[in-house]
Amino acid sequence: MNFLCVSSQFSNQRGAHSKPCPTKRQGRHQTAAVVEEWRKGSVGAYNWGFVSGKSQTIYPWDSWDKAYTGPPPIWFHDIFHADGTPYNPEETDLIKRLTQGEN
């Protein structure tokens, strides 16, 4: 069974339960503060999208109805450009810090 939690409110409510809730960070509207909160609560998380390219997950949901002629000002998912450079170096630093057990 797979669970998807997309809000920090759910993370707070799971306190009475002993099972962790795998969480998908979906879009950059979920800020670093939310990701850090998940870490403190031992909530596992993954990011949808990794390298900008074929899947086009830099575009938000409205791209189904709205034509984009270039990258959006704020990428929706991916973390890296096709050449391997970070979309946002501060974000990749946070991911490194949180995944290496540093608080």
Q: Is residue 2 part of a domain?
A: no
Q: Could you tell me which residue, 82 or 16, shows the higher pLDDT?
A: 82
Confidence class of residue 8 from pLDDT cuts 50, 70 and 90? very low
Q: What is the pLDDT of residue 52?
A: 92
Tell me the per-residue pLDDT of 26-79, one tens digit each, with 9 for 90 and over: 667 656 677 777 777 777 777 778 899 888 889 988 888 999 999 998 898 888
Confidence of residue 4 (pLDDT cuts 50, 70, 90): very low
Is 88 contained in some domain? Answer: yes
- Asked if residue 3 belongs to a domain, the reply is no
**Do the domain assignments include residue 67?**
yes
pLDDT in the model for residue 23: 60
Q: 27: domain range?
A: 8-99
Question: How many domains does one find in the chain?
Answer: 1
What is the H or E stretch that residue 25 is in?
strand 23-25
pTM (global) more than 0.85: no
